[in-house]
Structures are given as structure tokens and as C-alpha cells.
């Protein structure tokens, strides 16, 4: 049913004489899509440039912040990474990785003063260097700890507070001890990546456990995990048609058009040229942000490790980029990629 609404909406012109109530109803049928946070990639520069080139994303989540000192101030570099509460009209949600309630409260109050209206708590980071310190997904086996932090935080902050987590760290069953805690507090949304922390990004998502959770969870629920193509979304939508909110990470990095494709929004005819302009704008934006420091190339290469997947020969495309070390080498490699390979997208 939702797919029919997508197709109908795609045919509407901006001059349509539909009533506002009818248009709002149609808009409510469209899936809600969030950009998942990626450390080192989806920072303020990426969000700024992406928002100017692509449509379909309803909310940006920042890479996580840590160590909010008692001064409630951030170093200038970290403050710059927060950017603005909106990018081209798209809300931005800061994310914090912490196991300290006071630290979360300080950051929430700081974000409120900057104009943000939501803070997201990262209980999903799977990497051992984080999880072994009982942070990120490493906190999921300790529900008492989670409840203690939520109890303190929710009484002290004024902005919305959402959570991103996994099914557990070691076992997917860990989430069931957390559900009553999440339901008890007025969190504004819960995003679940349907894997355990131990899985990192390997293996299949556990849709069986996710399905069991749907009727149990009170806060608005968002699904995250392995939506790389529109067909992935369609398969999920067919199985779980009560879920209308999705967080997409790697799939969006592969193909920046993916949210628009899922929503049946109008897309430019020449996608390859549009991607070329986007990647060029991103390149110059990073050079400006980093004062022409060559570390900009490392960030761009990290992004190309994903973007290359939407060309006709991903291995050869990334091979041309991964060894560049100077700006002129990078520019030459990008030119060769767009001249010699075809963008096929998701």
C-alpha cells in the first residue's frame, strides 16, 4: 500500500490543488529516513554538501561526541563539528557516547543553548575499544546501569532524548531486559540496528528478534541495518509494514540517491554528472575546512571506499583512489574514475 502512495506522490506537481489535509496525509505515508552517523565521514562538511545535492533524508544524526568537561564547553574543532541545528532545512541531531549521566546532561544543556531540540544516546557502537569500557553496545548487558543513567538524565534535560542501540552486545536476548526500561521513560525514539555488537557489521541482521520487539516497544521505533538498495527496503516493508522509520548508513554512502529512490522522488536524468559535481564540491569543502591539510584526502578516501560500490567496477574504482597522497593525484584519479567507469547506483 505504501508503494502506491509513493508513486502517486511522485506525480504531484508543486502547483497541485490538493487540500492541505490530503497532502499531509500523503506525506505521512512516505517512509521517514534518517542518515546514520559514521565516525570520520558524516561530519558537518559532509552533511552540508549532501543536503545541497540530494533529497529524501528527514534527519541527520551526527557522529558521536565524547568527554564533555565540567565547563560545558567544547574545543573549537568539536564545536565546529556540531555545525547548525538544520542543514538546508533538515534537522540535525547531535549524538553522545557516554556512560556518565552528568556528562550527558551537560551536553544536552549545551546543545539546547545552540538551538538543537534533540539529543541521541549511542548504545550501539560495536567496536571493542568502546564496548570493552561499557560504552556503546558494551552497556547493553547491564540494564541496571542503563536505567540508572536514564533516571538521572530524563529529570534534568529539556530537549528530546532518543536512543540508538543494537539487539545486545553478546546476545540478541539482551534487548528484552531493556525494553521495560525504554518504555518507562519518555524517550522520543528508539533506533535498533538488528545485530549484536559482537557481530560488528558481519552476518545477517536478526529480523526474527526485531519482529518480536515490535509489539513490545512503546517509543517510536526506527529500523537500522542492511538497506543498501530499494529492493531491500521493499522486502522489509512487505514483511514489516507497521514500521515507517528507517536509519540508513552504508547504503546511503554507497548511493546518495537512495533515500530519494525509496520515496519515489524525482531524480536528475544524469546521475553520474550529479555525483561528479557532488564529489567535487565535497572535495573543495574538505580542503577549506581543513585549511588544505592533506588529511582531507584520507577522509575522502574513506568515503570513496563506500561510494565506489555504486560504480560498475568497484574494485578498480577504489584502487585508483586508495593510493593517492596529494591533491593533484586525487584530482587526476577522480577524473579518471568518471571518464572510465559508469555510475550504476543502488
pLDDT, position 97:
97
Residue from 213, 277, 203 nearest 240 by CA: 213
pLDDT, position 80:
86
Q: Hey, what's the cell of 188?
A: 522520543
Q: What is the mean pLDDT of residues 183-208?
A: 97
DSSP 175-187: HHHHHHHHHHTT-
- In this predicted structure, the answer to whether residue 18 has a pLDDT above a threshold of 70 is no
pLDDT, position 344:
94
Q: Count of residues for the chain? A: 346
* Distances in whole angstroms, Cα of residue 135 to Cα of each of 74, 130, 274, 302: 20, 6, 39, 24
pLDDT, position 2:
47
pLDDT, position 204:
94
- For the entire predicted model, the pTM comes to 0.89
pLDDT, position 23:
44
pLDDT, position 30:
87
pLDDT, position 19:
52
Q: What is the mean pLDDT of residues 16-35?
A: 64
- In this predicted structure, the answer to whether residue 11 has a pLDDT above a threshold of 90 is no
- In this predicted structure, the answer to whether residue 346 has a pLDDT above a threshold of 80 is no
CA angle 314, 320, 326 (to 5 degrees): 140
Q: Hey, what's the cell of 327?
A: 591533491
Q: List, for residues 111-164, the tens digit of each pLDDT value.
A: 999 999 999 999 999 999 999 999 999 999 999 999 999 999 999 999 999 999
Q: List, for residues 276-297, the tens digit of each pLDDT value.
A: 999 999 999 999 999 999 999 9
CA angle 306, 6, 282 (to 5 degrees): 30
Q: What is the mean pLDDT of residues 191-206?
A: 96
Q: Hey, what's the cell of 55?
A: 533529497
Straight-line distance from the first to the last Cα atom of the chain, in angstroms, rounded to the nearest whole number = 23
Q: List, for residues 75-120, the tens digit of each pLDDT value.
A: 777 888 898 999 999 999 999 999 999 999 999 999 999 999 999 9
239 torsion bin: left (phi>0), alpha (psi -120 to 50), beta (else): alpha
Q: How far apart are CA 238 and CA 110, in angstroms?
A: 41
pLDDT, position 25:
47
In the block, which residue shows the cell 497541485?
A: 16
Beta bridge mates, 191: 164, 222
CA angle 274, 237, 310 (to 5 degrees): 30
Cβ within 8 Å of residue 170, ≥6 positions away: 141, 196, 197, 198
311: DSSP letter: B
pLDDT, position 28:
58
| Average pLDDT score over the chain | 91
pLDDT, position 71:
57
Cβ within 8 Å of residue 338, ≥6 positions away: 272, 276
Give the pLDDT band of residue 225 (cuts 50, 70, 90): very high
What percent of the chain clears pLDDT 90, i.e. is strictly above it?
A: 85
Helices (H), ranges, the chain:
2-10, 20-29, 44-53, 76-82, 101-114, 128-131, 143-153, 174-184, 207-213, 230-239, 250-254, 258-262, 271-289, 295-307, 314-322, 327-340
Amino acid at each position: 500500500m505504501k508503494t502506491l502512495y509513493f508513486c502517486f506522490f511522485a506525480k504531484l506537481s508543486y502547483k497541485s490543488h490538493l487540500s492541505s489535509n490530503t497532502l499531509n496525509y500523503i506525506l505521512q505515508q512516505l517512509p521517514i529516513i534518517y542518515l546514520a552517523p559514521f565516525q570520520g565521514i558524516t561530519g558537518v562538511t559532509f552533511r552540508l554538501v549532501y543536503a545541497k545535492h540530494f533529497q529524501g533524508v528527514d534527519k541527520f544524526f551526527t557522529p558521536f561526541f565524547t568527554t564533555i568537561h565540567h565547563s560545558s564547553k567544547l574545543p573549537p574543532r568539536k564545536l565546529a563539528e556540531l555545525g547548525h541545528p538544520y542543514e538546508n532545512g533538515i534537522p540535525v541531531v547531535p549524538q553522545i557516547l557516554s556512560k556518565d549521566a552528568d556528562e550527558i546532561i551537560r551536553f544536552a544543556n549545551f546543545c539546547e543553548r545552540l538551538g538543537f531540540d534533540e539529543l541521541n544516546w549511542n548504545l550501539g557502537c560495536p567496536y571493542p575499544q568502546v564496548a570493552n569500557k561499557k560504552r556503546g553496545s558494551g552497556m547493553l548487558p547491564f540494564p541496571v546501569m542503563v536505567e540508572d543513567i536514564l533516571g538521572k538524565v530524563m529529570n534534568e534535560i529539556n530537549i528530546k532524548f532518543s536512543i540508538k542501540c543494537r539487539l545486545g552486545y553478546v546476545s540478541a536476548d539482551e534487548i528484552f531486559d531493556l525494553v521495560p526500561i525504554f518504555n518507562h521513560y519518555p524517550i522520543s525514539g528508539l533506533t535498533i540496528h538488528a545485530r549484536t555488537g559482537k557481530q560488528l557489521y558481519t552476518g545477517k541482521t536478526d529480523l526474527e528478534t526485531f519482529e518480536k520487539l515490535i509489539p513490545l516497544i512503546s517509543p517510536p521505533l526506527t529500523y537500522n541495518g542492511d538497506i543498501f538498495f530499494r529492493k531491500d527496503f521493499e522486502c522489509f516493508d512487505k514483511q514489516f509494514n507497521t514500521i515507517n522509520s528507517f536509519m540508513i548508513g552504508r547504503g546511503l554512502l554507497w548511493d546518495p540517491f537512495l533515500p530519494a529512490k525509496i520515496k519515489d522522488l524525482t531524480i536528475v536524468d544524469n546521475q553520474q554528472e550529479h555525483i561528479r559535481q557532488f564529489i567535487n564540491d565535497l572535495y573543495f569543502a574538505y580542503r577549506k575546512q581543513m585549511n588544505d591539510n592533506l588529511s582531507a584526502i584520507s577522509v575522502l578516501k574513506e568515503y570513496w571506499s563506500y561510494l565506489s560500490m555504486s560504480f560498475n567496477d568497484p574494485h578498480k574504482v577504489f584502487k585508483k583512489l586508495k593510493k593517492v597522497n596529494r591533491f593533484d593525484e586525487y584530482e587526476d584519479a577522480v577524473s579518471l574514475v568518471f571518464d572510465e567507469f559508469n555510475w550504476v547506483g543502488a
